Structure 1
Amino acid sequence: MEHTTPIRTRPGLTALLAFTLSLTCFGQVGNAAEDIGSTPGMTYQSNDAIFAGETDDPYRLALRAYIWGYPLVKAAAIRMAHTNPDDPYVERAQPSAAGPLNTLNHSRELFGPEFRNGVGVNHDTLYSFGWFDLEDEAWVLEAPDFGDRYYTFSIYNADSSSADTIGQRTHGSQLPTVLIHGPLYDGPVPDDMLAIGIATRYLNFAGRILTSGTEEDYRIVHSLQDRIRMRPLDSYLAGKPAPASVPDQTRLSAGVESASHYLQLYAQLGNVLRDWIPAAEEQSLLRSFEEIGLSAQAFHIEGLENATLDAMKRAARDASELIARRSRDLGSNHNGWTINYLGSRFGTDYLLRAAVARDQIYVTVPEEAIYPITRLDANGEPLHGDQHYRISLPADALPPVKGFWSITLYNDSGYLVENPIGRYTIGDRTPGLVSGDDGTIDIRIQRDAPDTSAVNWLPAPAGEFYLMMRLYIPERAILEREWLPPPVMPVDHTEE
């Protein structure tokens, strides 16, 4: 069915989308009242242990299905929230870059604490965002000359993994025309185009353009955004704009209301699989899921024995806990920071893919950016607004990047925090950044304002919080782990 509804405004859409996302993307499933028993010791702790070999054990199959399917469901929920298939042309409030399927949309201002339709958003760039359906056609990307301004375009598969990332790092100020095609495309690639293949039916396009956040700079970035274009190959060759019609999508929530709390993700995954094109390495795994009612048609709960359903419920709870644990250990831990040096290239490490999707979905490839995260101070204690902290960056040990670096603070739920100076991130472009006599940059993180203005203050909330460092176009020292983030040091409240 095609939708060509005129644009109209609906108050509170951002809140509605955030609520929808929270319903469809539960990250923890252990709060339900239903008693499902225990799984002593959770035998399967690592990705290799979970996915190695064949099995017909319902618990282990369900554990695999949950971990493998979690990022697919979360990505689909974000696609649903952004494209709003029931009313695709409803007007979205800024700074949302949401819009109908097969359209490219732009945030016109930096995200602030009022934004709740996503977690861990940056406060450094303006986004250009879109979801595109590659089932029937390839798409062409055109972009302007960005001069010396940092920009990057990340192109993701529908499982949250990266297909490619291009921009200033790969092509300087000007990209070539790009053809983006799906796994079933067998048409030509024009000689003057860069071809990027997507492994899934739906692609997520995420563009980021650096901005200082001033009104003058916004106008420059808006002009660049307005000259980024996505349209089908046929339209491009004919010199026409993209069609205005919007293809329909399989709803993520279909039939979910009839599933119990612990089985909801399996029901959602069944809906995702209706549009899924399995990669060669996934086919055997997906066939095995039929033993627990999951197929390319849906999740068939009817006919499953009670013992199987009980095993699936335990697996859902345990898988959620395993994902949460892995999110705190993304592969490398240094000075309290957990660092994923693989970025969004997961291969068959499905547990890592799920863990990254939990808190950092759609991170880019490591050569484009590294995202260290910490919830702990140097003593291993949770970061909390009742405490004062300091991060020290000596002049000879500043983050070695060719793009930019920043540190952003989020509350425990992943949102930016309202504060009296309107500062949500601090980094190499922060106006008035203060250095010591020896060139050291000390960043003070605390709830109350410091006694002096001659400090680099990153305001903290009342409760627990976490920090995310962004290292864009990291140099070799970062990628080879020679440079590591410094610890977050607790500071005595009486220290000046």
Structure 2
Amino acid sequence: MRKDGTCLLIFSLFLFSLSSPGGVSAEPIDAQNTDLWDIVEDAYVYCYPLVVVDATQKKFTNTEVPNPTQAPINQLAHSNFVFTAENRLVVSPNVDDIYSSAFLDLNNTAFVFVKPPTYRFCSAQFLDAYTNTIDVVGSGSKTDNPEDEVICLITGKDYEGDVPDGMKHIVIPTDMAWIIIRTVVNGPSDIPNVTAIQQKMMLVPLDVYLNNEIYVPEKGTYNEKYNFNPAEYVFNMSAEEFFTTANALMIKNPPSPDDTEILEKMKQINVGPGLIFDAAILGPDGPERWNSMVGQIESDLISKTKEYMNALDGWKFYGEPIGEWGTVYAYRGLIAIKGLGANPTYVAIYPEADSDSDGQILTGAHTYRLHIDKDMLPPVKNDGFWSFTIYGSDNFLIPNEIDRYCINDRSNVTFNEDGSLDILLQADKPAEEMMNNWLPVGTADFHIYLRIYGPDLEKIKSTWTPPKIVRVMNDENISDDNSTEIRESVVEV
């Protein structure tokens, strides 16, 4: 695992039966029962998104005032930079978007969020404590005109007030909520334009908005103990720490009514809303087995979720129901481990390629041509966009002499006479006339992500032909001679 995304009355009665005074549960399963560790693993996978989102919130809100990566609870943080190879804060960083984000506590307060009118991709994603995407507004939305202002009323499930005219009501079923806003940026020189959009965003309590009051947010707090890497923090939890945290979180962040079956199963080991977990149930070798289970959980989940990995002529991407999980807990758990806050496919997909048209691993020791046929640019809707980004085997951006990490639909590339496009994937600088089409790859192994925001999924699944990545014969620099021969065994990828 990497240490480094209705029926209220009936459900309330069900929840009360699980969290009645004293944390009473069903008779716990015996430590010698062979099914015990199957239940423990299922419980871990179910609870992991909740626990890691809570840890992420603690880290994110651990500040007195907003800064580019943190903000106090119920306040927006606005990033103001584009990732480069020098930034190693997160793996596989996105160099096309600038992020804004906020964590909300919806226990007693309703909030208004305003997404201003924009003429570029700007998408606001609303998630619950289990990483379910509850709604998306702006770009990528199923209903909004991406250019329009959108005013959202964000409430918890028990909100009984009115919804003011002109507001979109977003009901989050958990007290803990997370907003992730992605605004496309065209390189560092474009940051001031994104900043202007960010300054027009608004997040205030409902009463402040309705009364048109000047809002002065409360000062946050800083605690040294929350200055941690959230994933590493959760990874290093003992069984008792992990499940005690999960049990407490599930009280204010209740499981879905659809989770009845897994909740009944977890109750056998005292995992559930308000229950009291006792690590003694795991037996004398419990800590050792726990560490072993946690250490291999990512590889186990990859094996269990292969059906959700979509193949696309040599490229691959995580498909539905990503971001809208339902009861697919293994898939939800895997993506929470690999990267929180995943978009549903109607907002974005991220095809990846790590091999060429012959199935050989991509390496900077060779040179390649990424070829896109005429009329076969990645298909997007409305204000969607596409981008090719190179990463090393460590999943970080690769240093290069021109500080170029992606080529996208905003790049000043040169198309071929027949309308097709060639992107040069190579370590060495090409001839001057091909510089705009050069995507540096370093000298070691690499892989490439094709980010498609606002994808036209119908075309992608039917008529679109993905790009080919073809190794150039004898590893010649393909810009030196336009007639350079390409190996005959070309396979579309």
Is 1:274 aligned to 2:231, yes or no?
no
The number of equivalent residue pairs is 433
Task: Structure 2 unaligned segments of length 5 or more: list them.
Answer: 5-32, 479-493
Partner of 1:289: 266
Q: How far apart, in 1, do the equivalents of 2:305 and 2:407 lie?
A: 24
Is 1:62 aligned to 2:40, yes or no?
yes
Q: Where do residues 426-465 of structure 1 align in structure 2 (5 Å cutoff)? A: 426-431=407-412, 433-454=413-434, 456-465=437-446
Is 1:77 aligned to 2:55, yes or no?
yes
Q: Where do residues 179-258 of structure 1 align in structure 2 (5 Å cutoff)? A: 179-215=153-189, 217-240=190-213, 241=215, 243-246=217-220
Partner of 2:10: none
Contact 1:330 1:355 in 2 (8 A): no
Q: Where do residues 12-411 of structure 1 align in structure 2 (5 Å cutoff)? A: 26=3, 57-84=35-62, 88-89=63-64, 92=67, 96-146=68-118, 148-169=119-140, 170-215=144-189, 217-240=190-213, 241=215, 243-246=217-220, 264=238, 267-268=241-242, 270-276=244-250, 277-292=254-269, 294-296=271-273, 300-306=278-284, 312-325=290-303, 330-342=308-320, 343-402=322-381, 403-411=384-392
Post-superposition offset of 1:278: 1.4
Measured against aligned partners, the alpha-carbon deviations of 1:332-374 in whole angstroms (never above 9, x if no partner) come to 1123322223241222112222232333432222222221123
Post-superposition offset of 1:196: 1.0
Residue 301 to residue 265, structure 1, CA distance change in 2 (3 Å): closer
Report percent identity of matched pairs.
Answer: 27
Equivalent in 461, 464, 470 of residue 489 of structure 1: 470
Q: How far apart, in 1, do the equivalents of 2:400 and 2:243 lie?
A: 39
Give the residue type in structure 2 aligned to 1:190: P
Post-superposition offset of 1:133: 1.3
Residue 391 to residue 78, structure 1, CA distance change in 2 (3 Å): farther
Contact 1:369 1:473 in 2 (8 A): yes
Q: How far apart, in 2, do the equivalents of 1:193 and 1:321 lie?
A: 44
TM-score, normalised by the number of residues in structure 1: 0.77
Residue 149 to residue 303, structure 1, CA distance change in 2 (3 Å): closer
Look up the SS of the partner of 2:300 in the other structure.
Answer: helix
| Farther off after superposition, 328-337 or 175-184 | 328-337
Q: Aligned Cα RMSD in Å?
A: 3.3
Q: How far apart, in 2, do the equivalents of 1:231 and 1:362 lie?
A: 22
Partner of 1:52: none
Bigger Rg, which one: 2
Measured against aligned partners, the alpha-carbon deviations of 1:405-459 in whole angstroms (never above 9, x if no partner) come to 111122233322221111111111112x021121211112222323554151111
Give the residue type in structure 1 aligned to 2:107: E
Contact 1:178 1:194 in 2 (8 A): yes
Partner of 2:15: none
Look up the SS of the partner of 2:449 in the other structure.
Answer: strand
Q: How far apart, in 2, do the equivalents of 1:384 and 1:264 lie?
A: 40
TM-score, normalised by the number of residues in structure 2: 0.78
Post-superposition offset of 1:312: 4.2
Give the residue type in structure 2 aligned to 1:133: D
